[in-house]
Amino acid sequence: MEPIIIVLIILVVLVFIALMKTVQVIPQASAAIVERFGRYTRTLNAGLNIVVPFIDSIRNRIDLREQVVPFPPQPVITQDNLVVNIDTVIYYQVTDARAATYEVASYIQAIEQLTVTTLRNIIGGMDLERTLTSREEINAALRGVLDEATGKWGIRVNRVELKAIEPPTSIQDSMEKQMRADRDKRAAILQAEGVRQSEILRAEGEKQSAILRAEGEAKAAALKAEGEAQAIRTVFESIHAGDADQKLLSYQYLQMLPKIAEGDANKLWIVPSEIGEALKGLGGALGNFGGAPAAPAAGNGAPRENAVPPAPRREQPPLD
C-alpha cells in the first residue's frame, strides 16, 4: 500500500504542476510570447490564457505601457568645433510584442545607440548658438529618425526631450559675461527712460502751474481793477448826490497829496496851481468854522490887511 500512496502523491503533484503550467494569467497592459518547441506560436494578451503544459513555454513578458528612458550625457561636436554634453530622455511604447522580441536583441540598447548617432549627425550641422536656441527643431528631427528606425522593431517613439545642453566652461564664462552686459545695458536704458519720463512730467507740471498762476494773477488783477473802478464810481456818485461844495473838495484834495508823494521813486512831483485856490477855500472854511470875523476890505482898491497872498505856481523843471 505504501508504494501506491507514493505514486498517487506523485501523480497529484504532477497534475497540479500541469494545471499551473496550463493556466496563464497576463496582467493588464502586458503581453507574453509563447513558443512551442522553441518556435513562436502566439502572443498572449491580458487575462486568463490556456497553454499546453510542457510543450508551450513563455518566452518573454513585455510591458506595453509608455516607458521613459534617460540616457547619460553624450559629448557632441558642433559645426564650430565646440564639444557640448547633451542629456536626452526618450519616451517610447512597445506596439508589437513579437517584433520587439525577435527583430532586435535589446531594443533599449539599440534605441540608445541610435539616439547618440542621430544626435551627433544633427548637432554636427549646427553651430553652438543655434544648438542652444533650437531645442524644438532638434527634438523634432531626432524623433522623426528614431520613429522611422524603430518602427520595424515594434516600438513607437512618442517624444524625445533634451534635458540639458552644457557648453564648455570657457564658453559658459563668456556667455555669463555677455548676459551680465546685456542686463546692465537694459537696466541703464530703463533708468534713462525713467529719468526722461520724470523730467517730462516735471516740465509738464511746471508748465501747468505757471499757466494756472498766470490765469489766477490775471483774474485777480481784473477783479482788483473792477473793484477800484466800482469804488471810484461809488465815490463819484456819492459826491454828486451830496452836492459837495468847493470846501469839501479842497479838503479831500489835501488828503490825497501825501499819497501822491509816497514811494521811493518819486524824486520830483509837481504842485498844481489849483492848490492855492484849495488852500484859500480851506482857510476860509476853517475861519468860518471858528467864528473869527473876516478881515475888513480896504477901500479904493487898497490891499487888505492879513490877506493870504496867492500861492505861486511851481513850474516843472526842464528835463535833461
pLDDT digits (tens, 9 = 90+) for 168-216: 777 767 777 777 888 888 888 988 988 888 889 889 888 888 898 898 8
310 pLDDT more than 80: no
All cell numbers assigned to 78? 558642433
- Cβ atoms 153, 104 nearer than 8 A: yes
Domains and CATH numbers, the chain: 2-61 (no CATH), 67-167 (3.30.479.30)
Sheet with 39-44: strands ordered across:
39-44, 30-36, 56-63
Planar angle of CA 32, 37, 41, nearest 5 degrees: 40
Q: What is the mean pLDDT of residues 288-316?
A: 44
* Class of residue 157 by CB neighbours under 10 A (exposed 0-12, middle 13-18, buried 19+): buried
Share of the chain above pLDDT 70, in %: 73
Strands 155-166, 67-77: pairing is: unpaired
Sign of CA dihedral 208, 209, 214, 220: positive
Which residues sit opposite 308 in a β-bridge? none
Entry pTM: 0.51
pLDDT in tens, 241-255: 766 566 666 666 666
pLDDT in tens, 40-81: 999 999 888 888 888 888 888 999 999 999 988 888 888 888
d(CA 312, CA 272): 10
